[in-house]
Amino acid sequence: MSLGIIIVTHTPEMAEGLARLLRHIAKNVPVTFAGGNSMGQIGTSMSQVQLAVNTNEATELLAFYDFGSARRNVELASAFSAKPIHLYDVALVEGAHTAAVSLQAGVDRAGLDKQLLALQVKA
């Protein structure tokens, strides 16, 4: 079992830029992302989320998203995925950053979940 991170946002640039930052600070943590809809416009796309899930080399994923419809697409992708996907209703950038730093340092998911509680800002 290995843990990876997926990022899902409403613009391609946000997901790409956040993934770039996470890969920089946590070189051993697999990070993949889906940003924008299928046309690269504002929105999200279930098939792009599936691609982020399938191309992530980890066997279990932590998902961070910006807004509601991104969350729904992660839930849909999760229903069709063999990999367990844990969805975090936390501040996107700050939560994903905390997760990347912690996973890189070898913190397990129970330990990480405790840290992320303080960043919970979504329903």
Residues classed as catalytic: 10
How many residues touch its own copies (CB under 8 A)?
A: 26
From 16-24, 55-63, 79-87, 103-111, span contacting its own copies (CB under 8 A): 16-24
| Backbone dihedral region for residue 57 (phi beyond 0: left; psi -120 to 50: alpha; all else: beta) | alpha
Please list every residue from 83 through 122 that binds its own copies, using CB under 8 A: 91-94, 97, 118-119, 121-122
Given candidates 8, 15, 52, 87, which one binds its own copies under the rule CB under 8 A? Answer: 15
Residue position matching structure tokens 């792009």 = 48
Given candidates 2, 28, 38, 42, which one binds its own copies under the rule CB under 8 A? Answer: 42
Token digits of residue 49:
């989320």
Residue 66 in the binding site for its own copies (CB under 8 A): yes
CB of 91 to its own copies, least distance (A): 3
